């Protein structure tokens, strides 16, 4: 044996009453203790328990994680001493003491205990780690009564088989609480629990007070929570809700026990369901709520501003800085921001300080808890705020004057229909941006203008020399230099869109052709394999596929260059009011075009398949509204990170993602068929499948549509109201049937894209496909409408 450490404990076994554990045991019994690097492992090897250290922290905790044979990245699922870490794990001990499992720190002081008051003979009590991820305390190995179990004392993870219950006798609910940050498992501000008032809804609350998300009440007929309609589309989890006179709880298990899945209350304030993908060695996000990060109450703390588009999500308002940069570095923004310079009214000792100023911020979601003032003008509103030292902001609009006292929480920026707020700042903080601007601009305009003209001329001449001749590669692809793209896009100034894989910028080549430049932020591919992949993709030519025109690859700077599509992407036309409505005929042709493009990809181009990140955002329309699928081949270009980005960039909805993405089985072209089917439903309804409809009813559109179609119901009632019923019933019905066929859980039941094309071209007639398992609850319902969950209020409050 190499390691003498190993020998001593074994010798100890014979001489000492309190012995260290033998390697690989699943039990801590009366005379043993766990210390240092020692662990216990459940009998099947699924879970392991011992001391661990989160991230770069120097603190140690007793925790439970997946057996490294099951999940190769240490992932804690339960922590004992969340608030009482220890530094030296070799002199701390976890052992049975007076019938409890107790953790003793370096000075042998108990700092954590299972805390049961046991009157039984404590000598036979043992702690056993089970393969379900449950650490149980029982009186002897054969005892069937559990004195204590870790599943009933969850920390931030809710494992399959666990329950999060409400004790009706005491009205106490069990909590799932977030970690404080990624390196500190002590309870953070966010928690999930069953409503103590007995509404049978799970609530997420901030600091155990402000509720910002609710699952809606459990609906036993539909077997879903009212505001989580996507629970229907599930074949992975077996859910049940139990309510008796003593308690109510929800629990879940996995139909396929080989899938490793966990539910967490994340430090982001969102609940998340994740599953382990061994092929890519990472946790994949399956589902999360609230969908938008900025919906999490006070996520950016006081005077922080949240933006869905920004990374990081939180920034401090101008004139403020993070209270604790260290916490912000660990993505814990809850501490918020503080003023860089005190307000004059707070610090009257300052000589000659100027009157405080207001910084104007347009397009903001206003903070919580405003106070209404009855004053008649913007300037009166301003002076009302100025007159009270504790007033930190005001807003004035048609509703009148609102002011805010004290900290500003839940400010959110970048919303197109936001409002304008005025933030109070010390004069010195606001002057730099607004006061002197006019003078400076006036004084320098001429000079700047001159410089600009000269510079433009220079750039033009230079561009002519440089950009015009990108190197043609083997195929017809152009290889751009980074500098060329920088110039063409005016230093990446005009963004066309942002996806999980990177941003897209508009640019113009010297020959006036307009291009779209897609930056691949997370490609881990080396230069040579990248070029090879790009060349393969460059050979793909079809009228319904976006042609790759060129690329750039300089170190980590990787870009794809396409023709610019003036009509933009399909989602803008389907879901956003401001664009003209796509009539039914156009939608049908678009559906057919996409199907043709995918057929080509799947059949003609075996080598380069190519699953797409298929969603309306990735369908571009040319000037004739001819659809072009883009982003195909990305998995090969991105490499290892692809899965992770794809699943996390869904922002909580996995609506377009086929179930095999989650279960970790291999992905084939049929995953595209699934996503395509999901999109077809959206062509019909004109809104996202996961969205609440205008009448306030929460329903999962595919389920509704499947029900109507299978019962020969009024399919036109499914139609996008913007179309005013103007569509042939036969075609709407045909599209819905195809869509149902495409979204079946089992990929072997889905049609090929070629079959889809034939059906849409009416070459093949389609009989009603078998109703997908996930939609089955419909077939035994008397009325489709019983599956709609009425809700008059919004999802969260």
Q: How far is the CB of 502 from ligand NAG (least distance, A)?
A: 22
261 beta partners: 275
730 contacts 719 by C-beta, under 8 angstroms: no
User: Which residue of 4, 15, 58, 107 would you call a contact of ligand NAG, by CB under 6 A?
Assistant: 107
- Which of 327, 613, 720, 745 is catalytic? The answer is 613
255 interacts with ligand NAG by CB under 6 A? yes
Please state, in angstroms and rounded to a whole number, the distance separating the CA atoms of residues 401 and 392.
14
462 interacts with ligand NAG by CB under 6 A? no
Q: Is 518 annotated as a binding residue?
A: yes
Q: How far is the CB of 198 from ligand NAG (least distance, A)?
A: 5
Judged by DSSP in three states, 117 sits in: coil
**Closest alpha carbon to 645 in 502, 477, 492:** 502
458 interacts with ligand NAG by CB under 6 A? no
Count CB neighbours of 333 within 10 A.
Answer: 28
Count CB neighbours of 383 within 10 A.
Answer: 12
Q: Are strands 237-243 and 357-364 parallel, antiparallel or unpaired?
A: unpaired
User: Which residue of 326, 400, 406, 696 would you call a contact of ligand NAG, by CB under 6 A?
Assistant: 326
311 interacts with ligand NAG by CB under 6 A? no
Judged by DSSP in three states, 760 sits in: helix
Judged by DSSP in three states, 207 sits in: coil
User: Which residue of 3, 15, 55, 442 would you call a contact of ligand NAG, by CB under 6 A?
Assistant: 55
User: Which residue of 238, 415, 541, 793 would you call a contact of ligand NAG, by CB under 6 A?
Assistant: 238
The region of 240-248, 528-536, 571-579, 747-755 touching ligand NAG under the rule CB under 6 A is: 240-248
Q: How far is the CB of 410 from ligand NAG (least distance, A)?
A: 13
484 is catalytic: no
User: Which residue of 244, 387, 623, 783 would you call a contact of ligand NAG, by CB under 6 A?
Assistant: 244
Q: How far is the CB of 203 from ligand NAG (least distance, A)?
A: 6
Q: How far is the CB of 317 from ligand NAG (least distance, A)?
A: 19
User: Which residue of 42, 75, 105, 215 would you call a contact of ligand NAG, by CB under 6 A?
Assistant: 105
Please state the separation of Cα 33 from the chain's center in Å.
41
246 interacts with ligand NAG by CB under 6 A? yes
User: Which residue of 13, 30, 70, 111 would you call a contact of ligand NAG, by CB under 6 A?
Assistant: 111
Count CB neighbours of 187 within 10 A.
Answer: 18
To which H or E segment does residue 372 belong? strand 371-373
Instruction: State the number of binding residues for ligand NAG (CB under 6 A).
Output: 30
Burial 45-65 (b: 16+ CB within 10 A, else e): ebbbbbbbebeebebbbbbbb
553 contacts 561 by C-beta, under 8 angstroms: no
Report the residue number, 106 or 498, with the smaller CB distance to ligand NAG. Answer: 106
210 interacts with ligand NAG by CB under 6 A? no
Q: Are strands 495-499 and 478-479 parallel, antiparallel or unpaired?
A: unpaired
**Closest alpha carbon to 774 in 745, 753, 797:** 745
The region of 324-332, 669-677, 719-727, 784-792 touching ligand NAG under the rule CB under 6 A is: 324-332
How far apart, in Å, do the first and last CA atoms of the chain sit? 62
Report the residue number, 107 or 416, with the smaller CB distance to ligand NAG. Answer: 107
User: Which residue of 16, 31, 123, 197 would you call a contact of ligand NAG, by CB under 6 A?
Assistant: 197
- Residue written as token pair 């007929």: 221
Report the residue number, 113 or 535, with the smaller CB distance to ligand NAG. Answer: 113
User: Which residue of 141, 312, 348, 449 would you call a contact of ligand NAG, by CB under 6 A?
Assistant: 141
Report the residue number, 195 or 731, with the smaller CB distance to ligand NAG. Answer: 195
The region of 193-201, 374-382, 518-526, 653-661 touching ligand NAG under the rule CB under 6 A is: 193-201
The single-letter DSSP state of residue 269 is S
Q: How far is the CB of 205 from ligand NAG (least distance, A)?
A: 7
- Measured at the CA of 115, the angle between CA 109 and CA 120, to 5 degrees, comes to 110
The region of 102-110, 365-373, 433-441, 627-635 touching ligand NAG under the rule CB under 6 A is: 102-110
Please state, in angstroms and rounded to a whole number, the distance separating the CA atoms of residues 172 and 198.
10
User: Which residue of 47, 112, 212, 681 would you call a contact of ligand NAG, by CB under 6 A?
Assistant: 112
Residues across the chain = 797
Q: How far is the CB of 719 from ligand NAG (least distance, A)?
A: 37
115 interacts with ligand NAG by CB under 6 A? yes
113 interacts with ligand NAG by CB under 6 A? yes
780 interacts with ligand NAG by CB under 6 A? no
Please state, in angstroms and rounded to a whole number, the distance separating the CA atoms of residues 179 and 177.
7
For residue 565, CA distances in Å to 122, 562, 612, 618, 621 come to: 75, 9, 19, 12, 6
426 contacts 341 by C-beta, under 8 angstroms: yes
The region of 99-107, 306-314, 586-594, 745-753 touching ligand NAG under the rule CB under 6 A is: 99-107
* Residue 491 Rama label (left phi>0; alpha psi -120 to 50; beta): left
Report the residue number, 168 or 754, with the smaller CB distance to ligand NAG. Answer: 168
Q: φ, ψ for residue 54 (rounded to 5)?
A: -75, 125
Q: φ, ψ for residue 150 (rounded to 5)?
A: -65, -30
CB under 8 A, 24+ apart: contacts of 659-667 = 659/235, 659/236, 659/745, 660/747, 661/284, 662/236, 662/259, 662/275, 662/284, 662/286, 663/236, 663/256, 663/259, 663/275, 664/259, 664/275, 664/276, 664/277, 664/278, 664/279, 664/284, 666/279, 667/611
User: Which residue of 22, 123, 207, 279 would you call a contact of ligand NAG, by CB under 6 A?
Assistant: 207
> Would you name the residues annotated as active-site residues?
613
- The residue ranges that bind ligand NAG (CB under 6 A) are 55-56, 105-107, 109, 111-113, 115, 140-142, 171, 195-198, 203, 207, 238, 240, 244-246, 253, 255, 325-326, 329
Which residues define the annotated binding site? 518
Which residues define the annotated binding site for ATP? 518
């Amino acid at each position: 044996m190499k390691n003498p450490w190993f020998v001593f404990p074994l010798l100890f076994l014979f001489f000492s009453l309190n012995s260290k554990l033998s390697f690989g045991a699943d039990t801590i019994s009366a005379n043993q203790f766990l210390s240092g690097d020692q662990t216990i492992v459940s009998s099947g090897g699924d879970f392991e328990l011992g001391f661990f250290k989160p991230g770069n922290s120097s603190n140690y905790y007793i925790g439970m994680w997946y057996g490294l044979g099951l999940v190769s990245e240490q992932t804690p699922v339960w922590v004992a001493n969340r608030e009482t870490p220890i530094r030296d794990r070799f002199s701390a001990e976890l052992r049975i003491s007076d019938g409890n499992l107790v953790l003793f720190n370096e000075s042998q002081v108990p700092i954590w205990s299972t805390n049961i008051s046991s009157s039984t003979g404590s000598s036979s009590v043992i702690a056993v780690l089970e393969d379900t991820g449950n650490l149980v305390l029982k009186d002897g190995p054969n005892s069937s009564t559990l004195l204590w179990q870790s599943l009933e004392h969850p920390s931030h993870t809710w494992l399959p088989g666990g329950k999060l219950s409400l004790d009706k006798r005491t009205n106490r609910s069990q909590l799932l609480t977030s970690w404080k940050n990624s390196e500190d498992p002590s309870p953070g501000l966010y928690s999930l629990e069953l409503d103590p008032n007995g509404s049978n809804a799970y609530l997420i609350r901030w600091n155990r007070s402000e509720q910002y998300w609710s699952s809606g009440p459990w609906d036993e007929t539909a077997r879903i929570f009212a505001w989580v309609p996507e629970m229907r589309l599930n074949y992975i989890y077996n859910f049940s809700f139990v309510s008796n006179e003593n308690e109510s709880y929800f629990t879940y298990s996995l139909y396929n026990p080989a899938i490793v899945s966990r539910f967490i209350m994340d430090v982001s304030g969102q609940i998340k369901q994740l599953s382990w993908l061994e092929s890519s060695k990472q946790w994949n996000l399956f589902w999360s709520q609230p969908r938008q990060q900025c919906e999490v109450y006070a996520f950016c703390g006081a005077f922080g501003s949240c933006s869905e588009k920004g990374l990081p999500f939180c920034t401090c308002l101008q004139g403020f800085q993070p209270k604790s940069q260290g916490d912000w570095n660990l993505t814990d923004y809850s501490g918020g921001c503080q003023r860089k310079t005190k307000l004059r009214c707070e610090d009257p000792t300052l000589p000659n300080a100027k009157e405080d100023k207001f910084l104007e911020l347009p397009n903001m979601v206003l903070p919580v808890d405003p106070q209404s003032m009855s004053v008649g003008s913007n300037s009166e509103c301003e002076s009302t705020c100025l007159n009270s030292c504790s007033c930190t902001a005001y807003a004035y609009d048609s509703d009148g004057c609102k002011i805010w006292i004290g900290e500003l929480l839940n400010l959110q920026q970048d919303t197109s229909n936001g409002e304008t707020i005025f933030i109070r700042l010390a004069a010195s903080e606001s002057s730099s941006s607004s006061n002197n601007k006019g003078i400076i601009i006036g004084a320098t305009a001429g000079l700047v203008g001159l410089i600009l003209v000269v510079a433009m001329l220079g750039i033009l001449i230079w561009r002519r020399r440089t950009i015009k001749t990108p190197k043609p590669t083997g195929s017809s692809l152009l290889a751009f230099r980074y500098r060329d793209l920088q110039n063409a896009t005016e230093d990446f100034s005009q963004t066309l869109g942002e996806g999980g894989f990177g941003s897209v910028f508009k640019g113009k080549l010297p020959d006036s052709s307009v291009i779209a430049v897609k930056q691949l932020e997370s490609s881990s591919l080396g230069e040579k394999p990248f070029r090879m992949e790009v060349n393969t993709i460059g050979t793909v030519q079809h009228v319904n596929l976006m042609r790759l025109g060129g690329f750039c690859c300089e170190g980590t700077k990787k870009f794809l260059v396409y023709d610019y599509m003036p009509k933009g992407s399909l989602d803008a036309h389907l879901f956003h009011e401001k664009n003209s409505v796509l009539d039914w005929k156009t939608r049908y042709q678009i559906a057919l075009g996409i199907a043709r493009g995918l057929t080509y990809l799947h059949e003609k181009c075996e080598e380069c398949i190519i699953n797409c990140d298929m969603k309306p955002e990735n369908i571009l329309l040319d000037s004739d509204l001819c659809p072009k699928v883009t982003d195909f081949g990305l998995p090969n270009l991105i490499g290892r990170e692809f899965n992770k980005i794809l699943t996390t960039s869904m922002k909580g909805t996995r609506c377009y993602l086929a179930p095999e993405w989650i279960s970790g089985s291999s992905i084939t072209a049929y995953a595209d068929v699934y996503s395509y089917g999901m999109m077809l439903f959206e062509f019909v309804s004109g809104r996202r499948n996961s969205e609440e409809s205008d009448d306030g009813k929460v329903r999962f559109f595919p389920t509704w549509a499947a029900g109507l179609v299978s019962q020969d119901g009024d399919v036109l009632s499914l139609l996008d109201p913007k179309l005013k019923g103007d569509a042939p019933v036969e075609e709407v019905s045909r599209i819905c049937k195809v869509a149902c066929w495409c979204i079946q859980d089992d990929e072997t039941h889905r049609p090929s894209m070629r079959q889809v094309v034939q059906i849409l071209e009416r070459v093949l007639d389609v009989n009603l496909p078998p109703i997908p398992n996930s939609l089955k609850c419909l077939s035994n319902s008397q009325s489709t409408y019983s599956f709609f969950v009425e809700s008059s209020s919004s999802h969260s409050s």
